[in-house]
Amino acid sequence: MPNDNALSQMLQSAIPAMNAPWEALATPRLVAAVNDAGGFGVLPCGLKTPAVIKKEIEEVRRLTSRPFGVSLVVRRDVTEISPEGQAFIEALHPIREALHLPNPTPRFVNFDEQFEAVLNSAVTHVVFTSGGPREIYAERLEAAGILFGGIAASPKDAKALIASGASFLIARGFEAGGPVESFETPYPAAPTSLAVLLGVLTRIAKDMPVIAFGAISNAREIRAYETLGASGFMLGSALSFATESGLPASFRRALAYSDETSTVLTRAFTGEVGRYLKNLLSRTMDDAGIPYPAFPETTFLTADIARFAIENERADLAAIAAEPNAYLAQNASTRDILAKLFSN
C-alpha cells in the first residue's frame, strides 16, 4: 500500500511503516531491510556508547542508500551505583554465580555525548522515547535540518512532545511491547488501549501525523487504525521472525511458543515498566520484592547478563520485548512481511 500522505513525505518512504527501536530486534541489518522494503528504519541508540552509535550508523549506510532514523532516550545521566543498585546487584548474585559472571562494573553512558554522536552523523530523523528534547537540543536539531518525533503513551505525553517541537507523534497503546515511554503520567496508573489513545491523540495533534504502535499484526488491523486517524504504523513483534531480525534462534523459539498470557509488565529489565516475555530473570527480580533502581541504572546493571543471554542463546535471561500476539508474526523476509501487511 504505497502512501503519499504527509508522513510518507516527511519520512521519504513509500510505505508508512517503521520498526520499533528495540535493541535486540533492530540491528543495522533489519533497519536497512525495512528501508529497502519501502518503510522507514529506526536504529536504537538510546543506551549505546557514542562509538557504537557511529559504527552502527555507518553500517546502516553501507546497507541502504535511503534515509533512516535513530532513537534516543531522554533520561537522567547516571554516574555511580545507587544504594538501590547495590541491592539489585545482590539480588542477582545467585544468577551471576550460576553463570560464572562477576559482579558488574557498569559503564554508564552520557546523553550529551550520545546526542553529539547522532548530530555529527548527519541522520535525517530522530525518534525520542521517554520525553521530548529540551529546548537546547531541539534548536540544534532544527539548525541541522533533522526532524524529530516521539513516543507518547498518554495525552499529556503528546502535549509535551508537541510543545518541544515534534513533527510527528507515535501513539503507544497498552498492547505495545518493550519499554513504556510514558513520562508525564505515572504508568501503569492509566493504561490506555491503542484504539482509545489514537482517537485522543489525533484530536490533540490536529494536522500532525500520528503513528500507531501496539501489537499490529495484520492488514485488517492496519485498515482499522487508519479509520481512527493513524497516518502510519510502528511494527514491533510483527518483525520478530523476519529473516533480517536480530533476535537469536532461542529468542524466536520462545516467542513462537508464547501465547496471549506470556508477556508481563515489569520493571526488571530497565527500571521502568515495560512489556516483555516472562522468563527466569523477570520472575527472579519481581519475586525479590526490592525497589528497582531508577531508569537507566537497571539497564546498565544488567548489561552483562543481556550480553550473556544473546551470546549463549539463553532466552530465559533476556529482555525480549514482546506483544501479546507475538506468536502470530510471519516467518519471512522483511520485504514480504511489509508487502503483506500493506497490500491493497
pLDDT in tens, 230-262: 999 999 999 999 999 999 999 999 999 999 999
The answer to whether 318 touches 24, Cβ cutoff 8 Å, is yes
The three-point CA angle 283-72-151 to 5° equals 75
Which segment of 132-136, 154-158, 182-186 scores lowest on mean pLDDT?
A: 182-186
Is 100's pLDDT higher than 80?
Answer: yes
The band of 76, judged by pLDDT with boundaries at 50, 70 and 90, is confident
What would the mean pLDDT of 203-227 be, rounded to a whole number?
96
pLDDT above 70 (res 188): no
Q: How far is CA 320 from CA 5, 53, 81, 94, 97, in A?
A: 33, 21, 25, 21, 22
Q: What is the pLDDT of residue 344?
A: 67
Which residue type occupies 183?
Answer: F
Per-residue pLDDT reduced to its tens digit, 304-334: 999 999 999 999 999 999 999 999 999 999 9
Superfamily for the 6-341 domain: Aldolase class I (3.20.20.70)
Confidence of residue 1 (pLDDT cuts 50, 70, 90): very low
The residue type found at 78 is V
pLDDT recorded at residue 190: 62
Residues whose CB falls within 8 Å of the CB of residue 340, separated by 6 or more in sequence, listed in order: 219, 330, 332
Continuous segment of H or E residues that includes residue 334? helix 334-341
Cα–Cα distance for residue pair 49/42, rounded to 1 Å = 17
The band of 180, judged by pLDDT with boundaries at 50, 70 and 90, is confident
pLDDT value of position 132: 86
- Cβ(88)–Cβ(292) below 8 Å: yes
Residue 13 pLDDT class (50, 70, 90 cuts)? very high
pLDDT at residue 189, as a whole number: 57
Report the DSSP pairing between strands 263-266 and 274-277. Answer: antiparallel
Q: What is the value of pTM for the model shown?
A: 0.94
**CA–CA separation, 179 vs 322, rounded Å?**
10
Provide the residue ranges of all domains of the chain, joining segments of one domain with +.
Answer: 6-341
What's the chain's average pLDDT? 93
Q: Which of 261, 69, 58, 31 is nearest to 151 (CA)?
A: 69
